[in-house]
Structure formats: structure tokens, C-alpha cells
Amino acid sequence: MTTAIDWYFDPISPFAYLAFERLPKALPADAAVRYVPVLFAGLLRHWGNVGPAEIAPKRRFTFEHVAWIAHRGGIRLAMPAIHPFNPLPLLRLAVALELEGRLSHATLAPIFRFVWQQGRVPQQQAEFDALCSALGVPGTALAQDAVKARLREHGDEALARGVFGVPTAVLPGDPGGQLFWGLDALDMLAARLGQDPFFSSDAFRAAAALPVGAGRADAPAPAAAAGRRNT
């Protein structure tokens, strides 16, 4: 019996790229993945969050960590010319393939690898045009209203499911709406698909029902001057 998975992604995310490269081995052979392009910035805006590239120390660590993960896993990686960048052309290219019934792991691979193996961004117009041509999608197709509308629909769908980041996997038939977010959740997803009994355990249910305590507004204000000590 086929296992359906909805996998939300944005090529701007290096973790989405690393997860994408691992998917074929991480998932069971009967998995049928529906690849769903979404604008990561739209998710951040909705949930009032910021991306790792927007916090200077976290940005540095993120790319160092990504480089380490790729090195450890033998995954080819080249940093893009700039980051962050506007991923809309890449997302619309994926949607154009989807509307033609051609979005798959095989056709999505050149899109991810354009950024994370070739080190390119879609604003490098000649290179991006060559990518579109290689995938058989005319550049004019990306400006079509149907493409833009479908990308917005994907964003609305993701938010309705509680998706807050990329990559995120959702099992369409799961009444609990469990999310599997990030590269690190691939093992968790595989265990869930393998019907690991932990997901029906009291410990797992308790984790989901943990009460909310003090919020950020309750935290003490930082010292006004660097080096100031509490007395």
C-alpha cells in the first residue's frame, strides 16, 4: 500500500536541500511524495518569526553546520553566491512543473542543485534561463497567473496545517496533523511510517500536551550597559 507524504520546501533553505538529497534512502520504497513549494519568508511573516540568516551569529553557525553535515554525509555542497536571495523564480519554476504534472524528485533535483551544488541564485539571469530551458519550461510560464495563484494556495495550505518552517513533511491521512520539521526529523518520520509504537505512547502524548509557562514578556529586561552586573 502506498504511503502518501506532503513535503513542503523552499530551495532557499540549505536544510531542505540536505533533506531532499537524503529522502530516497530515508523513506520506505512505497512512499509517494507530493512536493509542495512554499515561500519560506511567508511562513516566517505569518508566525512572527525570523530566519536563521537574519541573526548574525546564527547565520554563521548555520552555514558552518550545513557545511559539516554535507561533509559528514558525503553530500556535494557549494554555497550560493549570496544568501538570502529571492527564491520566487525557483518556486515558480517548481510550480510550473507541478501544473504540467512533471514535479518529481528527478525534476526537482536540478532546482535544488542549481543553488546548493552550482552555487547559483535565480537572479543570475543567464544561468537561470538555462535551468528553465533544461527543464523544458519557458521563462514566460513563470509569470502566468495560474503559477502565482498555485504558489499562494500552497502557502495557505501550509499555514492551515500549522507548517512554520521548511522542510516539513505531513502525512495527509494522519488525523493528528503531526508535523515533521527539518532535516533532523527524517528519522522521526521514518519511525512514524514504520508504525513505531512510541507515537501512541503516553510519553509522546504528554510531550504534545506540555502546558505553556512564562513567556518572553515575563523575562527580565537586559542590562542597559555592556558589562553591567546585578547587585
DSSP-derived secondary structure for 39-50: -HHHHHHHHT--
Q: What residue numbers bound the domain in which 10 lies? A: 3-199
Q: Which burial class, exposed, middle or buried, applies to 195 when counting CB atoms under 10 A from its CB (0-12, 13-18, 19+)?
A: exposed
Whether residue 66 is contained in a domain is answered as yes
Contact 78, 116 (CB under 8 A): yes
Whether residue 227 is contained in a domain is answered as no
Q: Which three cell numbers stand for residue 56?
A: 548574525
CATH assignment of the domain containing 93: 3.40.30.10
Residue 49 CA to residue 46 CA, distance in Å, equals: 8
Backbone conformation region of residue 20, classed left if phi is above 0, alpha if psi is from -120 to 50, else beta? alpha
Which sign, positive or negative, has the C-alpha torsion 109, 115, 116, 118? positive
Instruction: Please state the domain count of the chain.
Output: 1
Which sign, positive or negative, has the C-alpha torsion 208, 211, 214, 216? positive
Whether residue 226 is contained in a domain is answered as no
Please provide the DSSP assignment of 43-105 as one string.
Answer: HHHHHT---GGGSHHHHHHHHHHHHHHHHHHT------SSSS---HHHHHHHHHHHHTT--SH
pLDDT in tens, the chain (231 residues): 578 999 999 999 999 999 999 999 999 888 999 999 999 999 999 999 999 989 999 999 999 999 999 999 999 999 999 999 999 999 999 999 999 999 999 999 999 999 999 999 999 999 999 999 999 999 999 999 999 999 999 999 999 999 999 999 999 988 788 999 999 999 999 999 999 999 999 999 999 999 999 877 776 766 654 444 443
Whether residue 223 is contained in a domain is answered as no
